Amino acid sequence: MTQFLKLQTISILLAVLLFLNIQLLANSGRLFLRIGDAYMLIIVTIGLASLTLFTRVIIKRFRHLEPSTWNLFLYVLWLPYLVLLTYVWTRVVPAPNEAAWPSPAVGLLMIALAFTFPLYVFIVHMIARSKQPST
């Protein structure tokens, strides 16, 4: 049961990481209206900071997992949490008008992020496993 809960917490962390980066891209128009020309610097800074912070936390959580074939579910388990977070976010903070919607190019970037995210999970998984003491 503890292995299951650990897998779920890592999956939630992975979903939150991707959710933050997708929402930064999706709301770049709103950020531009609020901040001005410095919005791109802020998006990149927050995106890279969240990536490094969550990567360190996820690697520490991966080390606590026992080696098992159930760990392979992490490559897909983050997806339902991402969908849930996105659904809740769109209900809590809806777009005020059509001008606030992201452009189609941003949608393609979000799709590319979602398709390449399992590669990120694989890399983090391998880094965490290489730092574990072998038995």
Q: Which tens digits make up the pLDDT trace of 42-56?
A: 888 988 999 999 989
Helix, strand, coil percentages, rounded to 5, for the chain: 85, 0, 15
Distance CA 21, CA 43 (A): 9
Q: What is the pTM of this model?
A: 0.83
Longest dimension (CA), the chain: 57
Q: Which tens digits make up the pLDDT trace of 103-133?
A: 888 889 889 988 999 999 899 888 888 866 6
Confidence class for position 87, pLDDT limits 50, 70, 90: very high
